[in-house]
Amino acid sequence: MEVGVTSDKNRKSTGSINRFLLILFILNLFYGCGAKTQIVLLPDPDGAVGKIEVVNPRGTRVLDRPWESTEVASLKEVPGEARIMEESEVKRVFHEALNAKPQPPVEFLIYFKSESAIPTAESLNSIPAVLETIKKRGSQDISVVGHTDSMGTADYNLDLSLRRAKKVAEILQAEGVDPAIIEIDYFGKAKPLIETPDGVPEPRNRRVEITVR
């Protein structure tokens, strides 16, 4: 049975997890009983919901509410009426797919002294938690992204944000993290957490974001 599924492209990155689950849900029933295909739209971890269209030669069914589901019995029938599944029912029917879902990324912030690539002492206290998360997840994908506040020129801040990212990567590598799994990026003052005019010092923008996937 061939059933097309299209998703709303204006989704957050976490939506990729639910699209992964969606595929698993389809395969779960398709190979499990061969009689029907069932699709369920899950909310993202933050509660956001996108939209998917279930399409076959007979018609289309749109799912745009959390836990909304449709079934396709055959290519000769329009996808079934959408219905809301209870969360407990989803967990019971799709427990194998849910257990196989990718874990959401974990993010950490390391803050820096003004106009410096030296992390604050308080921020360094979070490094053990970063290392423990990497170990528990068996992570093979870590991003380290440097940022600055709006003090200084754009070129200066780009260089400073790169030096900050490299410093954090060096700290992780010194603790045994494989450099091959660390991706470094930097944005200078272009992506502040706290919007400020140029020339305003803001400690929360002087940071490196570590994302463990």
> What CATH code is carried by the domain that includes residue 131?
3.30.1330.60
- DSSP per-residue string spanning 12-40: -TTHHHHHHHHHHHHHHHHHHTSS-EEEE
**pTM, whole model, 2 decimals?**
0.64
* 26-60 residue pLDDT tens: 444 444 445 678 889 888 877 888 888 888 888 99
- Across the range 19-31, mean pLDDT stands at 44
Same domain for 67 and 110, yes or no, is: no
Place of tokens 């002492």: 121
Picking from 59, 83, 99, the residue at the C-terminal end of a domain is: 99
Domain of 10, in residue numbers: 4-99
Last residue of a domain, one of 57, 82, 99: 99
d(CA 209, CA 108): 6
Pairwise CA distance, residues 138 & 212, whole Å: 10
Could you please report the per-residue DSSP string of 48-70?
----EEEEETTEEEEE-STTEEE
Mean pLDDT of the chain: 85
pLDDT band at 102 (very low <50, low <70, confident <90, very high): confident
Which of these ranges, 98-112, 121-135, 178-192, has the smallest mean pLDDT? 98-112
Of the candidates 77, 99, 121, which is a domain's last residue?
Answer: 99
Round to whole Å and give the CA distance between 103 and 105: 6
Report pLDDT for 207: 98
Q: What's the mean pLDDT in 144-157?
A: 97
Q: How many domains does the chain have?
A: 2
Residues 44 and 135 in one domain: no
Same structural domain, 84 and 117:
no
Q: What is d(CA 187, CA 158) in angstroms, rounded to the nearest whole number?
A: 6
